[in-house]
A and B are shown apart, each in its own frame.
Chain A
Amino acid sequence: MLSSKLSANRIALAITFILLLVIPHIASSYIVYVVILAILFSMLSASYDLLTGYAGPLSFCHAAFYGLGAYTSALLTLKTGMSFWLALPISGMSVFLFGAVIGYPALKLRGHYFAVTTFFFGHFMYLVFLNTRELTGGPLGLGGIQPPESIFGIDFSGMTANYYLILIFGILMVGFLYALVNSGFGRLIVSIRENEDLAEAVGVNTAFFKVLAFSISAGLAGITGSLFAHFFRLLHPSTFSWMTSEMIVVMVLVGGAGTLVGPIIGAGVVTFILEMMRFAPELRFVIWAILLIAILVIEPRGLAGIYARIRGGK
C-alpha cells in the first residue's frame, strides 16, 4: 500500500516535471506567462513555508522582502550598470541581512504580536517603495529594467529563455529548501515550532534559529524578486503591497503549511484560479474569496486534506 502511494507520487512528480519542461513549446505565450507567475509564487510560498510552516511564526511581510529584492536588483543594474548575474546574488544577500536586522527585534515577540508587527512592517515597506520617488519612481513605477545579459550564448530577451531561467532557479530553490528542512537545521526549527519552551530548555538557541529561518526565508524571497524584476521589467509598489503578502499566506495555508510541496501546489492553484477569472476583473477576488471559504468549510485542512481524502477513499 505504502509503496504504491509512493510510486503514484513519483509518477505525478515525473509528469509535472516533463510538462514543465515542454510547456514553452506546446502552449501559447500567455499560458507560459501564467506558468512563470505560478513558478515565482511557488518560490515565494516555498520560502515562506520555511518560516511559517517549519519554524512556526506567522508572518505577513513576505511581499516586502520580495519587493526589496526586486527593487535592489533593478536599481543596481539601472544605476550602476551592474550585470544581472551579479545583482541577483547581491540582492539576495542584502535582503537576507535586512531580514536579520528586522527579524532580530521582531522575533522577540510571539504569536499575534509578531504577526501584527510583520503586517505593519510590510505596509511600511510599501510606503517606502511608494514615496522614495527619486529611486523607485513611486506610483509611476520603475521601468526600463533590462533582461538578464546573455550567458553561454543564450539570449534572455524572449519569453522562453526567461521561462527556463526561472524554472531552473525554482528547482534549485526548492531543492535547497528540501535539503534544508531535512537537515539538522530543519529538525531544530521544527522542535521550536512544536514546543519553543521545551526546545530552549534542552539547549536550542531558539532566538538564533528563528532569526536565521526568517532571514533565509527573506533572502530567498529577495532572489525571487530579482528574477521577477528582470522578467517583468516594470516594478510598481502595489505588486508588493500587503495584499500580496496575504495572498502568499493563503497559498501556503491552503496548500498545507510545513509540507513544502503543499505550498507549491497551493501557489499554482491560486495563481491559475486568479488568472482564469481575468474575464471578470471586478469579481475576481469575490469569487476567489467564496471559493476559499467553500474549500475551508468542506475540508479545513485545505488541499492537503482533500488529497488525503482521495487517497484514503481508494
Chain B
Amino acid sequence: MQLGSGLIIGSVYALVALGLNIIWSITDIPDFAQGSFYVIAAYAGYFAVTLAGVPFPVALLLGMCVGAIMAFSCERFLYRRWRERTFRAAARVQLLVAIALFFLFANAANAIWTSKAKIFPAYMKGSLLGLSYMRINVFLAAIVLFILVYLFIMKTKPGKAIRAASMDVGMAQVLGINIDTVNSIVFAMGGALSGAAAVLVSPLYSVFPTMGDLPLLKALVVVILGGFGSVSGVLICGLGLGVAEAFGATYISSAYQHGFAFFVLILTLLLRPKGLFGRV
C-alpha cells in the first residue's frame, strides 16, 4: 500500500523534475516558475472537465498545452533577454524572474479562483490490488511520458541538439545548433511535463493555488539527486523519494513527511557530491 502510493506521488515528482532537469542543465535556470505552471494547468484541466465536460484525456492534453505555452512564452519573452550574460549578475536576474513568475501565477490563481480547494471529478471507477485505477494511471502515464522523452532525446535530431547543448552551449552554437530553438523546445517540454503531472494528480487530491509548492520543492531535490542531464536518474530518484516519503510517513512521523527529502539530500550530497546519477 505504501509502496503503491509512494510510487504514484513519486511519479509526480519525477515528471516535474524531468522538465526542470532538462531546462536547468541547458540554460542554467532553476525554473521555479514550473511550480506555478503546474497550478494553472491543473485549473485548466479542472475547468475543461467541469465546465466544458470534455473527457479526461482531452483535459490532460489541454493541461499539457497550457503548461507548454506558459513555459515557452516565459522563456521567449523574459529569460531570453538575459541569456547573453552581458553583465555579471545575469544568472541571478534569471533566478529572480523565475521566483517572481512563481509568485505571480500562484498568487494570481489565488486571487482569481480563491484558496478554496476545488474537487476534480473522478473520471474512472474501480481498483486493482487496493489502488484505484486513477492512481495506477498516474504511474503508467508517467512511465509513458518518460519513455517518450527518452526516445525524443536519444533518437531524434532536435533531441541530439538538446544533448549537445546540455554538454556545452557555446560549442553547440559553433557547430550550427540554433540555441534559441533548443531553449524553446526544452521550456515547452518542461511546461508540458509539469502540466501533465498536475492534471494527472488533480482527481486524487484536489485543485488549489498552493498545490504546486511541494511538487516544486521535491522536484528540485530530485533534480539534484538524479544528477543533471540524466533521464533515468530523475525517474529512479523521483520514484525513490516518493516511496521513501510514504514509508517514512507511516513508520517514522507523518508530520515530517515533507522534511525527509532534506535528510536524503544532505546524506546523498555528502556521499556523492554530484548526485547519484551525475554524469560529471
Contact = CB atoms under 8 A, between A and B. Distances in A.
B107 A108 contact: no
B23 interface: no
A288 B111 CA distance: 13
Interface residues of A, number: 40
B205 interface: no
Contact of A293 (B100, B111, B262, B265): B100
Interface residues of B, number: 38
Contacts of A113: 224, 269, 273
A171 interface: no
A300 B93 contact: yes
A80 B220 CA distance: 40
A63 B34 CA distance: 23
A226 B130 CA distance: 50
Nearest to B109: A286
Interface string B91-109: 0110111011101100110
Contact of B258 (A127, A282, A285, A289): A127
B107 A115 contact: no
B270 A293 contact: no
Interface string A279-314: 000111110111011001100110000000000000
Contacts of A290: 104
B78 A282 contact: no
A105 B81 CA distance: 36
B87 interface: yes
Interface in A123-175: 123-124, 127-128, 130-131
Interface stretch (A3-11, A91-99, A206-214, A250-258): A250-258
Contacts of A216: none
Contacts of B90: 300
A249 interface: yes
Interface in B258-280: 258-259, 261-262, 265-266, 269-270, 273
Interface string A196-213: 000000000000000000
B99 A250 contact: yes
A257 B89 contact: yes
A282 B111 contact: yes
B256 to A, nearest CB: 6
A228 to B, nearest CB: 23
B259 A292 contact: no
B123 interface: no
Given A282-B111, A285-B103, A289-B101, A127 B266 contact: no
| Chain A contact surface mostly | helix
B28 to A, nearest CB: 8
A16 B86 CA distance: 34
B180 to A, nearest CB: 18
B259 A286 contact: no
A250 B96 contact: yes
A65 interface: no
Looking at A257, A289, A297, the one whose CB has the most chain B CB atoms below 10 A away is A289
Contacts of A254: 96
B30 A112 contact: yes
Given A58-B92, A257-B92, A127 B259 contact: yes
A116 B255 contact: no
B30 A115 contact: yes
Given A250-B99, A293-B100, A123 B262 contact: yes
A116 B217 CA distance: 9
A119 B217 contact: yes
8 contacts: A112-B224, A113-B273, A250-B96, A286-B103, A290-B104, A293-B97, A293-B104, A296-B97
Interface of A: 58, 105-106, 108-109, 112-113, 115-117, 119-121, 123-124, 127-128, 130-131, 242, 246, 249-250, 253-254, 257, 282-286, 288-290, 292-293, 296-297, 300-301
Interface of B: 24, 30, 78, 81-82, 87, 89-90, 92-93, 95-97, 99-101, 103-104, 107-108, 110-111, 217, 220-221, 223-224, 255-256, 258-259, 261-262, 265-266, 269-270, 273
Query: Which 9 A-B pairs have CB atoms at the shortest separation, nearest pair first?
Result: A289-B104, A285-B107, A282-B111, A131-B255, A124-B262, A289-B103, A120-B262, A289-B100, A292-B100
